[in-house]
Amino acid sequence: DGGITQSPKYLFRKEGQNVTLSCEQNLNHDAMYWYRQDPGQGLRLIYYSQIVNDFQKGDIAEGYSVSREKKESFPLTVTSAQKNPTAFYLCASSIVTAGTYTGELFFGEGSRLTVL
Amino acid sequence: EDQVTQSPEALRLQEGESSSLNCSYTVSGLRGLFWYRQDPGKGPEFLFTLYSAGEEKEKERLKATLTKKESFLHITAPKPEDSATYLCAVQSHNNAGNMLTFGGGTRLMVKP
């Protein structure tokens, strides 16, 4: 079955450590995204990518980094510079039509990061 | 700046008690309005896309409508399995990359 796989589902980190969240898709989608969700708040965009080796900052990119070396993979690193990293992280993908991102996103199951 | 406000934040219904969720938006040039359903601890699941005022979409007990300032998600005779958080998002023609702006969601609880 096609879909998006995120791992790990739960992750605990000590302050000062970098952690990397994995996101893999087999939908053959061009665009991939990382969102952050905090309780009672909407999803906020961290980074997005339309093609391999290219990505753009979203609204809250500070303290995060990404790479897009393969179409299927879009890992997110939460660095020690992120001041409040405890959150639910969601990876998504979508098709791109005529250079425009569609709003119909396919999401993974999410990764919950807790900083101790 | 695009803005999306959803109300109420939480809604408790008895099974069979119909109601509506509201999504008010401010956007410069609406490209599309999207509804998603999110179960606890899961990623959102796409429900509907609406493109222009007057448009309606239906799926089982859900119907989404759109005006120039807001969208409603009508739930007819809800069942406990409809319990979830419903998210609304807008996409504008004018923002860089046409990224979505999400509202805070409405948490719906349907009791048997």
DSSP state of B55: -
Q: What is the pLDDT of residue A65?
A: 97
Q: Compute the distance between CA of residue B105 and CA of residue B112 in angstroms, rounded to an integer.
A: 23
> Is A4 at the interface with chain B, CB within 8 A?
yes
Quickly list H helices, B22-101. Answer: none
Contact B102 A90 (CB under 8 A): no
Q: What is the pLDDT of residue A45?
A: 94
Q: How confident is the model at residue A96 (pLDDT cuts 50, 70, 90)?
A: confident
Residues of chain B whose pLDDT is less than 70? Answer: 95-98
Quick: pLDDT tens for A47-88. Answer: 999 889 999 999 999 999 999 999 999 999 999 888 899 999
Could you tell me what percentage of chain B is helix, strand and coil, using 3-state DSSP and rounding each to the nearest 5? 5, 60, 35
N-to-C CA span, chain A: 36
Select the residue from A44, A104, A109, A112 to test the B interface by mutation, using most B Cβ atoms within 10 A.
A104
Quick: pLDDT tens for A10-22. Answer: 999 998 899 999 9
Quick: pLDDT tens for B85-109. Answer: 999 999 988 765 668 999 999 999 9
> Is A53 at the interface with chain B, CB within 8 A?
no
Q: Compute the distance between CA of residue A7 and CA of residue A108 in angstroms, rounded to an integer.
A: 9
Q: How many residues does chain A have?
A: 116
Q: Compute the distance between CA of residue B22 and CA of residue B43 in angstroms, rounded to an integer.
A: 21
- Taking one residue from A and the other from B, the number of pairs with CB-CB distance under 8 angstroms is 61
